[in-house]
Amino acid sequence: FDVYGAPIIGSNEKLRGIVLVFHDITELKKLEQARKDFVANVSHELKTPVTSLKGFTETLLAGAMEDPALREKFLTIISKESDRLESLIHDLLELSKIEGSHFLLNWQEVDLHEMIEDVKMMLQEQADKKKIDLKTKVMGNPKIEGDPHRLKQVILNLVNNAISYTPEEGNVTMRVREQAETVLLEVEDTGIGITKKELPRVFERFYRVDRARSRNSGGTGLGLAIVKHLSEAHKARLDVTSEVNKGTTFKVTFYKKGWKRKKTCKSLQ
């Protein structure tokens, strides 16, 4: 609490009392702490690939360049770490744009059926590499209002994760279903799952259940934070259910086309 005090002086110039104002700053303190944690996390996340880039470059310059096998190995690492750095910076910029006060959606009619077919095409090769069966299922007419670029980003992030956290020969299914007032988008996988304890934390920036695994799959730890913000911007509700070693399902419930401004959007949050 912040406390301010002021005396109350009567007409006879005598002290009649004191006014104390208690200001609850818990929220402010929490925000400040979250900001500090974020800066610390970003610095750490950026430092790791940079340290590795520096180390391998210096080793090459110190003579490792002469050995063709070492040269190939180190340059491959340098190239991978540069990619990581690039995705990290990309995701950070995206997140800061999305969280910024000037962020606007380009509202249009979007057919989620078409969109999941597009995403399937884009990620088919990645799924094939792991012999994962990537499927789409459609029920009804899943048209909503939203920003096509941002919606694709949501689905791509979810499906990308589903493929990354599903062992070889598993299934990943994108499902869209028209309901009375809403359209439901589900991304279901038969992957490693997430424990009950960790489930509420996966939307936090930089939170990973398994850091090494996430790093190997090229993850930045920001994908789900981006999904959460974009779902909120669309007034959509985001849920996740999971069972360890069985699989995970992310659900995004959007208002149907025409419902966006008519109804109190809060009810979906």
Residues that bind ligand ADP (CB under 6 A): 161-162, 165, 189, 191-194, 202, 207-210, 214, 219-225, 248
| Minimum CB distance to ligand ADP, residue 104 (Å) | 24
Q: Give yes or no for a contact between 247 and 188, defined as CB atoms under 8 angstroms apart.
A: yes
| Minimum CB distance to ligand ADP, residue 87 (Å) | 9
Separation of alpha carbons 13 and 93, rounded Å: 60
Smaller CB distance to ligand ADP: residue 196 or 262? 196
Residue 253's H or E segment, with its range, is: strand 247-255
**Residue the block writes with tokens 């790791």:** 48
| Minimum CB distance to ligand ADP, residue 215 (Å) | 8
**Does the CA dihedral 68-74-76-79 come out positive or negative?**
negative
Smaller CB distance to ligand ADP: residue 150 or 256? 150
The tokens describing 159, both together, are 């499906």
The tokens describing 161, both together, are 């994760």
Coil, strand or helix: which one is 67? coil
| Minimum CB distance to ligand ADP, residue 44 (Å) | 14
| Minimum CB distance to ligand ADP, residue 108 (Å) | 26
Q: Where are the beta strands (DSSP E) in 12-70?
A: 15-23
Q: Please name which of 122, 46, 87, 51 lies closest in space to residue 217, comparing C-alpha atoms.
A: 87
Smaller CB distance to ligand ADP: residue 177 or 228? 228
- Name the region of 57 (left: φ>0; alpha: ψ -120 to 50; beta: rest): alpha
Smaller CB distance to ligand ADP: residue 143 or 193? 193
Smaller CB distance to ligand ADP: residue 162 or 184? 162
Smaller CB distance to ligand ADP: residue 52 or 87? 87
| Minimum CB distance to ligand ADP, residue 153 (Å) | 12
Separation of alpha carbons 39 and 50, rounded Å: 16
Separation of alpha carbons 267 and 237, rounded Å: 9
The residue sitting closest to ligand ADP, measured at its beta carbon, is 219
